A and B are shown apart, each in its own frame.
Chain A
Amino acid sequence: MELLEMKNIVKTFPNVIANNDITFRVKVGEIHALLGENGAGKTTLMNILYGLYQQDCGSIFWKGKEVSFASPKDAIVSGIGMVHQHFTLVPNMTVLQNIILGLKEEGYPFIRTDDISENINSLAKSYGLEVDVGKMVSELSIGEQQRVEILKALYRGAELLILDEPTAVLTPDETSEFFNILRRLKSQGHSVILITHRLMEIMSVSDRVTILRSGSVVAVEETDKTNSDSLANLMIGCNLPEQPAKQAHFCGNSNSPVLELNNIEIEKEGVLRLAVSMQVYPGEIIGIAGVDGNGQKELAEAICGIQAVSQGQIRFENQNITSMTVYKRYRKGIAYIPDDRHHDGLVLDMNVRQNLMLRRYRISPYTKHRSLNKNKINEYSKICIERYQIKPTSPDTKMRLLSGGNQQKAILAREICNEAKLIVACQPTRGLDVGASTQVRNILVEQRNQGSGIILISADLDEVMSLSDRVAVMFRGRFMGIIDCEGETDAQLIGRMMGGHSLEEGESLHA
């Protein structure tokens, strides 16, 4: 029986068609996976279902009747619950208080703690979601918090549960426990939409999988009739864009790496977020592919010094920089293009000139005798603006007023300055239009040709494939494999790695 049918859904945003005529169906008692890379349209589609967005065209049928949800409240009342990637639990309140938040229970306005506890406990028991309802949420592990989120939805009568990347925050043990919970839910007649990019998980627990790519449905498969390889194929597509002509590797000191990461690890709240080793050579672009949230940010911040590593060593030009400050690392030649330019990379309320100075206001010739040298600073701004074609051209313009592309170019201008030996670029073209993206990519390739080593972290696989000399795929904080990109590259292999399969140790791949 069709529980849910989303028919011909179209949703566009200013720059992009997020959902392009998508039809998506879920049966009663089914675990249905929704697979796709970043930007494929999964989150948009689910946000429409949950009432956070309204679709431009298309209709939604719930239990056979056409519905329209103006807000999450409507969706919840109809029986749809969603557990987001970032939990909406109040840490300083108990589990019980969180579960009944906003509800009108019997005895309203009073909270009949004993009765409600009993109800919650028996509900929890039937799904294997036992948790201590009197405990503060802040005292629970992430896995336990997730149970509370699921209980919250079930308590409100959810028949369909949407889970957004639920295993992203779980350890492998917690993950298998989690699958048991999903199976229990299914056995009790609930349906689950599992948004994920993890192929092994899809294979082990789902009944069907819908694959989205660039806003459209590319396939709907019965899980027991397919395998990881085909799914990987479908997820990223077989056609890779032409690779732009790249100059041969810079023949400098290409035997010794500019950056070495030796077994570095980062642990947060008891979960291992990063555990990698790698070398980066001068004159190469090493792309880091993978779905967002698999440790990319931790990798970037570890290299730049913003995040300390709990283990391992970082070497830059054969010098141990593991405990070196952010400032010193920049002085040594490590540039950082952050993924969140508004929060991490720019001071929006300062003007262009001031932002360009943010890395060099303490050094001569910009400062002499503890005093800022206006002329040199102006000169420098003019050079940057001209070379990187930043618009508007007045250095007094407030950074807030620049377009995304120009803001990014300003960051590049500031960071690179022809002195950078290593550039860590995170999602450098995110949110930029085609023109700006091309400019940014050209700048990176130019730097590579001049001998800088570049770490390109991007969720855009096309971008990674077309620019990189080598590609490493990140999954759950580790590298699943590092492969060279000469000639034809096996897209399918990359897709599998993004979904969690690792390359056999010792094997490197050339086509």
Chain B
Amino acid sequence: MRKYSIQTLRILTYIVLTLALAAFLILGAGKNPLQSAGVFVRGIFGSFNGIAEVLVKATPLILAGLGISISFRSGFFNIGAEGQLYIGAIASTVVSMLPLGIPSWIHIILAIVAAFLFGGIWAFIPGILKAKFGISEIINTLMLNYIAFNLTGILVRGVIQDKTDYLPQSPVLQLELPNIFPPTRLHAGFLLAIIIVIFIWWFMERTPDGFELQAVGLNKRAAECLGINVVKNIVLASFLGGGLAGIAGAGELLGVQHRLLEGLVGSSGNTAILVALIGRNSPWGVLIASVGFAALQVGANTMQRQMGIPDAIVSILMGFIVILLLCDGLIMKLVNRVLVKEKS
């Protein structure tokens, strides 16, 4: 009985603190929190478009977040999701532009597989460096982020450039993920993301390979003593993580932007890291956190458009929630103290 109430108290504390901060920020912008709340909610639920936008924005977060959560769970600190997203997008672009003469649904699958492979390789590099040589993956994945971003910049100004207008972007791709809910932007990438969530859940919880990955992440030394190949697992986890981020990039490319350009990915790469953390590295947690963040973003965008409240609020709140999570031990101590005081 007591345990149940501690959990609810914890969630309540987080919600109350976050809402308090949100109200404070809205007031700081000189606006009415209650009114803003209304605009916020209407922005999301007020139309099919709003809900669709949430799901569209959530798609890359789900995919990249899943990849990151697998990496984190196996002890590989992948903060290079942004780079892997771009590499995946580049690979998809190239495959899409190839005149293969095959039915488009096969072509799309190939493009997505290419994104997975190359995104995976991009993460595999720091993965093998860590597993074999013990070089920290933190700085490596970070560096590869920027290399990938700049590579994109080079390509869209060079070989992949749309020669008709000499803007730094690729030509419009003929290949595209079908729209599943016109007239909104919602594309099949979202469905793909859901399927992958289910697959990853099954993989981590129901297969021996996922079980092994978890063991390695929780106690590398014991895993070694028990006969588990630690190197293989770290490398596998890094490859999977990068691959999924690559698919996220392909999704944005083929479902939303339809051409390769800088900024394709926005800040999804870094946001996906926070999503993985808030989702406690579990597939369903990532799904909920992604949708939650996307909703936050859509609502905040509406608040900005209609009321002039800076949508930077979203970043503040996201960062704040993670910071709260990091202070969890401290928070629970304080909550317990309050509980004890009330009892006596």
Contact = CB atoms under 8 A, between A and B. Distances in A.
B225 to A, nearest CB: 5
A372 B202 CA distance: 10
B218 A326 contact: no
Interface string B216-251: 001101111111100000000000000000000000
Given A306-B225, A327-B228, A346-B219, 6 more contacts: A326-B224, A359-B226, A361-B212, A362-B208, A372-B206, A372-B211
A473 to B, nearest CB: 26
B208 A344 contact: no
Interface string B164-182: 0000000000000000000
Interface of A: 304-306, 325-330, 336, 338, 343-350, 354, 357-359, 361-362, 367, 370-372
B206 A371 contact: yes
Contact of A361 (B211, B219, B222, B225): B211
A370 B222 contact: no
Contact of B221 (A344, A370, A372): A344
A325 B227 contact: yes
A347 B215 CA distance: 7
Contact of B225 (A328, A345, A370): A345
Nearest to A301: B225
A330 B212 CA distance: 16
B225 A326 contact: yes
B224 A306 contact: yes
Nearest to B202: A371
B215 A350 contact: yes
15 contacts: A326-B224, A327-B228, A329-B227, A338-B225, A343-B221, A344-B222, A347-B218, A347-B222, A348-B218, A348-B219, A358-B215, A359-B227, A361-B211, A370-B207, A370-B208
Contacts of B209: 370
B208 A372 contact: yes
B214 A350 contact: yes
Interface in B102-156: none
B222 A345 contact: yes
Contacts of A343: 219, 221-222
A344 B225 contact: yes
A343 to B, nearest CB: 5
Contacts of A344: 221-222, 225
Contacts of A348: 218-219
Question: How many B residues are at the interface, by size bracket?
Answer: 10 to 19
A382 B219 CA distance: 24
A370 B209 CA distance: 8
B207 A371 contact: yes
A372 B225 contact: no
A61 to B, nearest CB: 43
A284 B77 CA distance: 48
B227 A330 contact: yes
Nearest to A362: B208
A144 B343 CA distance: 62
Nearest to A414: B226
A359 B208 CA distance: 11
A299 to B, nearest CB: 15
Nearest to A345: B222
Q: Which of B206, B208, B224: most chain A CB closer than 10 A?
A: B208
Contacts of A329: 227
A200 B168 CA distance: 81
A325 B209 CA distance: 18
A344 B224 CA distance: 8
A358 B214 CA distance: 11
Contacts of A361: 208, 211-212
B333 to A, nearest CB: 19
Contacts of A328: 227
B219 A357 contact: no
Contacts of A306: 224-225
A370 B221 CA distance: 25
Contact of A326 (B207, B214, B219, B227): B227
Contacts of B224: 306, 326
A354 B211 contact: yes
Contacts of A371: 206-207
A-B pairs, top 8 by smallest CB distance, nearest first, are A327-B227, A326-B227, A347-B219, A344-B225, A361-B208, A347-B218, A362-B208, A349-B218
A347 B218 CA distance: 7
Contacts of B218: 347-350
